[in-house]
Structure formats: C-alpha cells, structure tokens
Structure 1
Amino acid sequence: VMRTDTKEICVFCQSAVNEINLKKARTACGAKEIAPVKPEELLSLTGYVRGGCSPVGMKRQFRTFIDKSALLHEKIHISAGVRGEQIELAPGDLISVTGATVCDLVL
C-alpha cells in the first residue's frame, strides 16, 4: 500500500519473492513520487494490520495494480486479512474483484 505525491493511496500486488520497483509503480499509477504507507496508518486506511493486508475487502476501494507474473499461474495466494492466513484464487478472479490493472511492477 503506497501513497503518491498527490496523496492518492494505491495498492500494489506482487509475488512474495519479489520487490516492487518504485519507478515501475510510479509509472503504473502516473505519479511523480510514491512511498509506502507507514505501518501505523494501515489499519485506519485499509482495515488491515501490517502482515495481514489484503487487496480484497479494504475499507475503501483503492486503485490496485497486480504484477503481470500473476497471470503465469493457475492459482495464486493472497493475504486473507489476518497475519498468517491466505486465500487461494485464480489471478483473473483477483483482477475482477479489485478492478486491478495488470502491469510490470517488480525489480
């Protein structure tokens, strides 16, 4: 979960083995600057705590971006909204429910 220079909150999803490339994230959402939201802000913004933040079921619907590598898999796992709990679903279902944009996000 990141905040742009215009204060917009955006959600970025990538494989746990990768790291978001901030330049690619900025390009994807059209921001000049972008930075992760502070962990202490996550609960009030999303309804989730750090380590349990899911792109599904947030307090508000934020623009969501999913790394294109998700499409290489029949099923993926995302946080279920609680630390240590996961949901298995098809990438297309995650894209559909979040209205996500698929793009290249990783280093």
Structure 2
Amino acid sequence: VAQMMNQPVEKVYKTLVTVSNTKEYLVYMIPVEKELDLKKCAKVAGVKSCEMIHVKDINKITGYIRGGCSPLGMKKQFRTFMYEDSLNQDTIYFSAGKIGMQIEMDPKVLVDLIHVQAVDIIKE
C-alpha cells in the first residue's frame, strides 16, 4: 500500500484486532512494516495476555473484512492503541474500511477523535 501510494512505510498504518484473556477486544495501529509485540500490547492494556483474533471473526467483531479494517466506524468503539512514533508524523494513512481506500489524518486528531493511546507496541 505504501509503495502504491508513493508514501514512506513509517506513515502507512495497519489496524490489528486482538482479544485479551478477559475477552475484551483491543485495537492496535502500527506502521505496515512493523510487527506487533503481543506482550507489550497486553501490558499497555493492563491485561495478562492478548492474541490476534481469528480471520473468520474479523467481520463479525468489527464489521470490516480482512485487509480493510479501520479504527473508525467499527461496530463498537474498542480501546485503541497506536505506535507512539506516529505522533512524530504530520499525517498518517490507514484503512478507510474498504480494501484499496485509505484515510490521511493528523495522528493527534485521531487520538482526540477516538481516544487512542500512543504507546510502544512493536517488536524491536
């Protein structure tokens, strides 16, 4: 997606959904070239553990399909966390809820809009 849009990978984000040991769904946004650290995710969410939801459950839980999951407009607003370095960008890109469509937004606006927490959640 970053290459197709001619944008640096650190500005293009993917939206990932996990489920915690307490059965709470948690949303994480990270740059497309990075990998989510599930131990860090659990720690920032204040839960014992979390794991990626099954692909077959994405639509039922979020209302979106795999590859088109957006932090905006899910069936329910889940707690959302974003990689802390996003705040160093003037804008970031993330899914608009349909494969091939992206939203460009100031990450600080996204933080205010849906109460995103900017934290360290990627593997080093």
Assess same fold via TM > 0.5. Answer: yes
Q: 2:27 aligned with 1:11, yes or no?
A: yes
The residue number in structure 1 matching 2:53 is 37
Instruction: Measure how far apart 1:103 and its partner are.
Output: 0.6
2:122 is aligned to 106
Paired residue type of 1:78? F
User: Matched residues in 2 for 1:30 and 1:48: separation?
Assistant: 26
- Supply the distance in 2 between the matched residues of 1:62 and 1:2 (Cα, whole angstroms): 10
> How far, CA to CA, are the matches of 1:66 and 1:83 in structure 2?
20
How big is the shift at 1:87? 0.4
What TM-score results when the alignment is normalised by the length of structure 1? 0.97
By how many angstroms is 1:10 displaced? 0.3
Structure 1 unaligned regions, length at least 5: none
1:51 to 61, 64, 67: 67
Q: 2:42 aligns with which of 7, 26, 38?
A: 26
> 1:75, 1:43 → 2: CA distance?
27
Residues of 1 paired with 2:96 and 2:41: CA distance?
A: 23
Runs of 4+ in structure 1 off by over 3 angstroms are none
Match for 2:104 among 79, 83, 88?
88
Aligned to 1:35, what secondary structure does the other structure show? strand
Structure 2 residue runs of 5 or longer lacking an equivalent are 1-16
C-alpha distance in structure 1 between counterparts of 2:83 and 2:119, whole Å: 5
Identity %: 37
User: How far apart are 1:45 and its partner, in Å?
Assistant: 0.8
State the aligned residue count: 107
Letter in 1 for 2:19: R
Letter matched to residue 54 of structure 1? S
What TM-score do the two structures reach when normalised by structure 2? Answer: 0.84
